[in-house]
């Protein structure tokens, strides 16, 4: 099952990576320990190869990642403060885990009438 995950607005596109303006929800997923301040300054750099082929990459447009192309080792770079200081970020944290065969519900407890 393949689906796309929208991550933010495209800042720029190069031959091998895309810079994306991301908001607080993305920053909190990638770096929950970070003291994040405000929207509009954080930049996530992702490889073009994990971007969805169903959506075009253009400055100012929404960037979508293809969940089927992201593996446990897929990495990007995150600049939380917009200062140019990038740190490695695990892109797999942006893709929700979908279990094809959900576990059966736990047995219900019957009320004791005694």
In three-state secondary structure terms, 37 is coil
Judge whether 35 and 23 are in contact, CB under 8 Å: no
**Is the pLDDT score of 114 beyond 70?**
no
What pLDDT score was predicted for residue 32? Answer: 84
pLDDT, one tens digit per residue, over 75-99 is 999 998 888 899 999 999 988 765 5
Q: pTM, whole model, 2 decimals?
A: 0.78
Residue 49 banded pLDDT, cuts 50, 70, 90: very high
Residue 82 backbone zone (phi > 0: left; psi -120 to 50: alpha; other: beta): left
Under 8 Å CB-to-CB from 95, ≥6 apart: which residues? Answer: 5, 65, 67, 70
Q: H-type helices in the chain, by residue range?
A: 24-30
pLDDT, one tens digit per residue, over 5-27 is 999 999 999 999 999 999 888 88
Mean pLDDT, rounded, of the chain: 85
What pLDDT score was predicted for residue 10? Answer: 94
Could you give the CA distance from residue 105 to residue 114 in angstroms, rounded to a whole number? 26
What pLDDT score was predicted for residue 81? Answer: 85
Could you give the CA distance from residue 30 to residue 77 in angstroms, rounded to a whole number? 10
């Amino acid at each position: 099952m393949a689906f796309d995950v929208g991550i933010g607005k495209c800042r720029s596109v190069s031959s091998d990576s895309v810079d994306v303006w991301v908001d607080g929800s993305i920053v909190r997923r990638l770096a929950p320990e970070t003291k994040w301040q405000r929207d509009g300054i954080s930049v996530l750099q992702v490889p073009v190869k994990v971007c969805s082929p169903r959506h075009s990459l253009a400055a100012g447009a929404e960037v979508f990642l293809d969940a089927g192309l992201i593996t446990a080792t897929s990495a990007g770079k995150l600049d939380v403060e917009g200062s140019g200081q990038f740190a490695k970020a695990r892109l797999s944290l942006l893709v929700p885990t979908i279990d094809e065969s959900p576990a059966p519900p736990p047995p219900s407890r019957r009320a004791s009438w005694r």
